[in-house]
Amino acid sequence: MRNYLNEDYRLSSWLLTRDHKRIGLLFMLSITGFFVIGGLAATIIRLELMTPAGDVVTADTYNKLFTMHGVTMVWFFLIPSIPNVLGNFLIPMMIGARDLAFPRLNLASWYLFMLGGFVTVYALIRGGVDTGWTFYTPFSTMFSNTHVVPALLGVFIAGFSSILTGLNFIITIHKMRAPGLTWMRLPLFVWTIYATSIILVLATPVLACTVGLLLLERIFHVGIFDPKLGGDPLLFQHLFWFYSHPAVYIMILPGMGVTSELITCFSRKPLFGYRAVAYSSLAIAIIGFLVWGHHMFVSGQSVYAGMVFSFLSFLVSIPSAIKVFNWTATLYKGRITFHTPMLYALGFVGLFSIGGLTGLLLAALAIDVHVHDTYFVIAHFHYIMVGGMVSAYLGGIHFWWPKMSGRLYPESWGRFAAVLLFFGFNLTFFPQFILGYLGMPRRYHEYPPEFQVLNVMSSLGATILAAGYILPLFYLGWSLKYGRVAPANPWNATGLEWQTASPPITHNFEVMPEVTAGAYAYTEHTPLPLEVADDPFARAV
Partner 1 sequence: MTHLQEQYDDLEQQHEAAKLGMWAFLATEVLFFGGLILAYLVYRYLFPEAFRQGSKEMEVAFGCINTAVLLTSSLFMALAVQAAKVGKGKTVRRLLVLTALLGAVFLGLKSLEYRNHIRDHKFPGAAFHSELPHAEQLELFYFIYFAATALHALHLTVGCAVVLVIAWRAGRGAYSADYHSPVEVTGLYWHFIDVVWIFLFPLFYLLGQAS
Q: Does 216 bind partner 1 (CB under 8 A)?
A: yes
Residue of 3, 98, 276, 315 that binds partner 1 (CB under 8 A): 98
Of 176, 199, 318, 187, residue with least CA distance to 258: 187
Residue of 213, 263, 285, 312 that binds partner 1 (CB under 8 A): 213
Q: x-or-dash pattern for partner 1, window 233-252, by CB under 8 A?
A: --x---x-------------
Q: Does 230 bind partner 1 (CB under 8 A)?
A: yes
Residues 6+ apart with CB under 8 A from 526: 268, 492, 494
The one-character DSSP state at 176 is -
> C-alpha angle with apex 120: 114 to 121, nearest 5 degrees?
85
Site size toward partner 1 (CB under 8 A) is: 41
The burial class, CB within 10 Å (0-12 / 13-18 / 19+), for 329 is middle
DSSP for 339-395 reads: -HHHHHHHHHHHHHHHHHHHHHHHHSHHHHHHHTTBHHHHHHHHIIIIIIIIHHHHH
Residues between 167 and 206 with contacts to partner 1, criterion CB under 8 A:
167-168, 170-172, 174-176, 201-206
Please check whether residue 153 is in contact with residue 119, taking contact to mean a CB–CB distance below 8 angstroms. Answer: yes
How far is it, in rounded angstroms, from Cα 462 to Cα 532?
31
Q: Compare residues 174 and 335 and give the one whose CB is closer to partner 1.
A: 174
Residue of 15, 53, 59, 229 that binds partner 1 (CB under 8 A): 229
Q: x-or-dash pattern for partner 1, window 505-524, by CB under 8 A?
A: --x-----------------
Residue of 44, 115, 149, 209 that binds partner 1 (CB under 8 A): 209
Q: Compare residues 208 and 471 and give the one whose CB is closer to partner 1.
A: 208
How far is it, in rounded angstroms, from Cα 54 to Cα 49?
8
Q: Does 232 bind partner 1 (CB under 8 A)?
A: yes
Residue of 25, 84, 99, 493 that binds partner 1 (CB under 8 A): 99
Question: Residue 105's CB: how many other CB atoms inside 10 A?
Answer: 17
In the complex, minimum distance from the CB of residue 203 to partner 1, in angstroms, rounded to a whole number: 7
Q: Does 102 bind partner 1 (CB under 8 A)?
A: yes
How far is it, in rounded angstroms, from Cα 228 to Cα 459?
41
> 441 forms bridges with which residues in the sheet?
374
Q: Compare residues 95 and 462 and give the one whose CB is closer to partner 1.
A: 95
Q: Compare residues 216 and 307 and give the one whose CB is closer to partner 1.
A: 216
Q: Does 223 bind partner 1 (CB under 8 A)?
A: yes
Q: Does 85 bind partner 1 (CB under 8 A)?
A: no
In the complex, minimum distance from the CB of residue 211 to partner 1, in angstroms, rounded to a whole number: 10
Number of H helices, E strands in the chain: 19, 0
Q: Does 163 bind partner 1 (CB under 8 A)?
A: yes
If DSSP codes are grouped into helix, strand and coil, which group holds residue 502?
coil
Residue of 59, 111, 221, 482 that binds partner 1 (CB under 8 A): 221
Chain contacts with partner 1 (rule: CB under 8 A): 92, 97-103, 163, 167-168, 170-172, 174-176, 201-206, 208-210, 212-213, 216, 220-224, 229-232, 235, 239, 507
